[in-house]
Amino acid sequence: MLLAAFLKLPKLPKHMTWRDAAALIVIAATYYLKWLHSAWPPELAVLPKLFLADVALYCFFVVRGLEGAGYSFIPTWSAMKVGLREWAFFLPIGVALGELTGFIHFHAAVPRVGHVIADLLLTFLLIAIPEELFFRAILQNFLETRVGRTAALPVAAILFGLSHFSHGAVFNWRYVLLASIAGIFYGRAWWFR
C-alpha cells in the first residue's frame, strides 16, 4: 500500500522519475535481501518472487498507469518468430562463452523427456515470466521514457545480468556475464514484440 501511494500521490509524469526508481529498488531489495523468505516454508521458496511480481505489476500498471508492457499470454506467430530469432542469435554466443568460461558443460547422460518438459515449464512460469515482467515490461519500458530506446537496452541488460550475481557461494561473474548478454537479446525481443 505504501509503495502504491508513493507512486500515486501527487500525480507523476509519464516518464520515469526518482520515485519510480526508488520503488523498483525497494521491490528488488526485498527480493534479493530475502526479507519475505521466512514468510513461507522452504518448499514454497518461489512464492516471494511471485508475490513481488504481483506487487510490481499492481504498482506500475494499475496505480502508476505504465503503458506498453508488450506481453500477452496468448502466443502469436510473430512473437514466436521474434523469440526464436533472438534465441538463435544468442545460442552460439551463449554456448561458446559458457564453454570458454566453464559456466556450462555437456553431460554424457540424456535426461528423460518428462523431466525436460517439466523443467522448461517451471522455468518459464516461475522464473522467466516474473523476471521479464520486471526487467522488460517495467524497467526497460520506463528507462526508454527517460534515456531513449538505444541506451535503455544495455542498461536493462546489465542490471538483468547483475541480478544473477548471487547464484552460487560467491559473486558468479560467469552467470552475470552470460545473463547480461542474454539480456540484450531478451530486450531486443521485447522491442520487436
d(CA 89, CA 137) in angstroms, rounded, equals 22
**DSSP line for 31-95:** HHTTTTGGGS-GGGTTHHHHHHHHHHHIIIIIIS--------SS--HHHHHHHHHHHHHHHHHHH
CA angle 143, 148, 154 (to 5 degrees): 65
d(CA 86, CA 193) in angstroms, rounded, equals 12
Instruction: Identify whether 10 is preceded by a cis peptide bond (ω within 30 of 0).
Output: yes
Residue 1, pLDDT score = 61
The pLDDT tens digits for 30-80 are 998 989 989 989 888 888 989 999 999 988 888 888 888 887 778 899 999
The pLDDT tens digits for 135-172 are 999 999 999 999 999 999 999 999 999 999 887 778 88
Global model pTM greater than 0.75: yes
